[in-house]
Amino acid sequence: MPANPRAALEAYGREKVREGMQRAAEIARDCWNDPQCEADAEYIPNAIRAEIETLK
């Protein structure tokens, strides 16, 4: 067990947030020049939500 479990849990949470933000940025980047993305303002948020659902 870590010396400070709370600090370990907070560090884990920060890492997961970082990973999630990185994945969201990848989704946005992949969509950048896609005509479907330009036509649908909700495409990126929906793609991110779909990705989140795969993690549950």
One-letter amino acid at 31 equals C
pLDDT, tens only, 6-42: 999 999 999 999 998 999 999 888 887 778 777 788 8
- Around Cβ 17, how many Cβ atoms within 10 Å? 10
Query: How many angstroms separate the CA atoms of 56 and 48, rounded?
Result: 13
What's this model's pTM, rounded to 2 decimal places? 0.69
Instruction: Tell me which residue has tokens 């993305």.
Output: 37
Return phi, psi of residue 41, to 5°: -65, -20
Asked if 40 and 24 touch (Cβ cutoff 8 Å), the reply is: no
